[in-house]
Structure 1
Amino acid sequence: MSDSVDAASSGRVYAPEDDHAFPDERVNEVLDLVESDPEIQAYLDAQNVNPVARKRYNDHGAKHISIVRNRALCLYDLLKAGGVQFNGAGDQGLDEADEPVIIALAATLHDIGHVVHRSDHPYYSIPLAADVLDRVLPEFGFYDTEARVRVKGEVLHAILCHHTPETPLTLEAGVVRVADALDMEHGRSRKPYEQGGRGINTVSSQAIQQVSLESGDGAPVLVEIEMTDAAGVYQVDTLLKAKLDDSGLEDHIRIVAVTNHRADEQLVERVEL
């Protein structure tokens, strides 16, 4: 099995060509644009300077955005397949096809406020993302002026709620909030770790071996996290579970953490949070 197929089957990579539990034509067109847009790509590069080079924190650049966006869309697909009804687009009178568009755009732009500062970055992301959305949304022929305003509002809501005390009011925002915490695997903190960063978030992420998303038993989604030692509990409990709380998705997602020995891979503990 190829790496790409294995990644997709474990809920790690969204494949536009696959069949999905939602209308995907609009989001696939949006993805084509954002992945080639020079301004967006410049932001994804620039937004990594403050968290990594200056704060010695985890990567928050293009790789982080790719991981969050992929896992957000995989999470959304599993939830839709499990019959979960989303409310953000619907409350605005938008189409079901706009739900993944909102998720994809919010996941892409949620961290651009890092170009201003790591602290309070979601609030700085709002005006910067608004400017980007004002430019790119008119490029899609399926949105008139009113629809652009409503999509923009939902995207900004999801961006705001991804890392602030504000409670998500939509499941689309909840997906982005949870997906942001799913970027926790070992190697994701490699640069700041090698530069001397030893914060708990950096060190604990070294213990996370793999994160998988799949259909759950008793809940639409099972998030299974393989850890090499107990340091990973900080990532799982303090970060992921904290973001799941009040996301609106608490009843739809199970989190299971598996600890093993790095040397022989013998499982020693399996805990459901």
Structure 2
Amino acid sequence: MAESTASPGYEYDPDAEHNFPDGRLNAVLPTVLSDPEIETYLEAQNVNAVTRKGYNDHGPKHIEIVRNRALNLYDLLKGGNVAFNGAADQGLEEADEPVIIALAATLHDIGHVVHRDEHAYYSIPLAADILDRLLSDFEFYDTQEAIRMKAEVLHAILCHHTEEDPLTLEAGVIRVADALDMERGRSRIPYEKGGRGINTLSSQAIENVTLEPGDGRPVLVEIEMINAAGVYQVDNLLKAKLKRSGLEDHVRIVAVNTKAEAGDQLVERIEL
């Protein structure tokens, strides 16, 4: 298995108790994490995004954080008895839901190797080739099931960063989890190179993001900011990803500026 770069707040543990059947995920994930082709894509996709365009990190660290947060979000939603539809609509099993999520989270940004602009569309053919090879290695997926799994993974990849709305909750999880990678480490590379764009500065303002069981909704996302620049990450990016994700009624988001001046309600607390 590839060496882990620790993700803030949560790391998927195959030995832990989960609110979903995890046998297939636990069989697939070690192969995904150690696959040389996937590893190379995750490193190469940062060249256009960071080296050439100066965007925030879109490499292996980003992918690990998104995958962990997607599985954390999925686990909390399942614990709240939220019914997922992607695998079910295809006649697949509940155990296939987390596999779809993990694969989509891992491959969602590989289109960056072609170009940052419209990268979700470029990710589709590249991920399709990987999925054809990868899914054929597991005895629990015959040809028909592998095709249906591939369809759901590609749908989730496409909808993470495009105008197309997610049609499944699995895809909605990927869309929201992508935006949940917003802590200071996300901007580390461009910030160290002198980048001072709003994405970089607002990421520097986010100290901590946690996902917990909610009160009244299955998921509570708590975001700790250290200055008002973090409002951009919460209101402009995360809010946009949550909208029409299918998860709006299941996720509560609270952001608190721990350094706000007393009585400054504008930047002291935001709730979505």
**Deviation at 1:270?**
2.8
Cross-structure match for 2:71: 73
- Three-state SS of the structure 2 residue aligned to 1:222 is strand
Match of 1:58 among 56, 59, 63: 56
Instruction: Give me the whole-angstrom Cα distance separating, in 1, the residues matched to 2:194 and 2:137.
Output: 44
- The TM-score, its normalising length taken from structure 2, stands at 0.94
Give the equivalent residue in structure 1 for 2:25.
27
SS in 1 for 2:184: coil
* One-letter identity of the residue aligned with 1:257: A
How far does residue 111 in structure 1 lie from its aligned partner after superposition? Answer: 0.2
Out of 61-70 and 253-262, give the one that drifted further.
253-262
CA distance in 2, matches of 1:202, 1:173: 26
2:196 to 184, 195, 198: 198
- Aligned-residue offset at 1:194: 1.7
Q: Secondary structure at the match of 2:74?
A: helix
Q: After the TM superposition, which segments of 4 or more aligned residues of structure 1 sit over 3 Å from their partners? A: none
Matches within 5 A, 1:117-266: 117-261=115-259
Distance in 1 (CA, whole Å) between partners of 2:61 and 2:185 is 12
RMSD (Å), alpha carbons? 1.7
Code of the aligned partner of 2:146 = R
What does the per-residue CA deviation read over 1:10-31, in whole Å, with 9 as the maximum and x for residues that have no partner? 5x22111101000001011111
Measure the CA separation in 1 of the matches of 2:72 and 2:89: 23
Looking at structure 2, the residues matched to 30 and 47 of structure 1 have their Cα atoms a distance apart, in angstroms, of: 23
1:104 is matched with 102
**In the TM superposition, what is the alpha-carbon distance from 1:88 to its structure 2 partner?**
0.2
Deviation at 1:193? 1.1
Instruction: Structure 2 unaligned segments of length 5 or more: list them.
Output: none
* Aligned residue number for residue 269 of structure 2: 270
SS in 2 for 1:211: strand
Matched letter for residue 269 of structure 1: E
1:160-183 Cα offsets, whole Å, 9 max, x none, are 000000000000000000000000
- CA deviation digits over 1:220-248, x for unaligned, max 9? 00000000011000001111111000000
Supply the distance in 2 between the matched residues of 1:148 and 1:202 (Cα, whole angstroms).
Answer: 39
Q: CA-to-partner distance for each residue in 1:145-198, whole Å, 9 max, x for gaps?
A: 000000000000000000000000000000000000000001221111121212
What number of residue pairs does the alignment pair up? Answer: 263
Q: CA deviation at 1:64?
A: 0.4
Unaligned runs of 5+ in 1: none
Matched, 1:85 2:83: yes
Give the Å deviation of 1:272. Answer: 1.2
Between the aligned residues of both structures, percent identity stands at: 74
Which residue matches 2:46?
A: 48
Matched residues in 2 for 1:186 and 1:193: separation?
Answer: 10
Cα separation, 1, equivalents of 2:59 and 2:87:
28
Aligned with residue 114 of structure 1, among 106, 112, 115? 112
How far off is 1:200 after superposition? 0.8
- Which AA in structure 2 matches 1:68? V
Letter in 2 for 1:259: N
